[in-house]
Amino acid sequence: MIDTVDDRLILYLKSFARGSAEARSAQELAEKFAVDVSQIQLKISHLRGDRKVPICGTPQDGYFWPQSYRDIDNTIANLKITKVIAGIQEGADREFGEPMLDF
């Protein structure tokens, strides 16, 4: 019996979000499962890390069930890039302060 949000999320992605063209945003998933967006992102991280579930996508692009290893490889590359970019931005903010808008 499927009774946890985690299991329902996996089943939903497998059924309705197969491949990047069918990716679902964290907002859409949050509405579907009546939870906050942050809870969806935490659940995705938990499922990927602790339960070893191959959910693909990023917060920016949406989440989906992979159709091939290419989906997995693209997700891994995007997540690494996102983490590196975030690290560079955080380091720059520490070094130079918050960026000023140019007008």
Dig out the tokens for 84 from the structure.
């590196």
pLDDT at 103: 55
Q: How confident is the model over 44-103, as pLDDT tens digits?
A: 999 999 999 999 999 889 999 999 999 999 999 988 888 887 888 888 888 888 776 655
Where do the domains of the chain lie? 5-96
Whole-angstrom Cα distance, residue 29 to residue 51? 19
For 5-96, which CATH class? mainly alpha
Residue with the bigger pLDDT between 9 and 5: it is 9
Q: How confident is the model over 7-57, as pLDDT tens digits?
A: 999 999 999 999 999 999 999 999 999 999 999 999 999 999 999 999 999
pLDDT at 102: 59
Whole-angstrom Cα distance, residue 54 to residue 70? 12
Let me know the angle formed at the C-alpha of 48 by 46 and 51, rounded to the nearest 5 degrees: 75
CA dist 30 → 66, 69, 79, 88, 93 (Å): 20, 27, 21, 29, 31
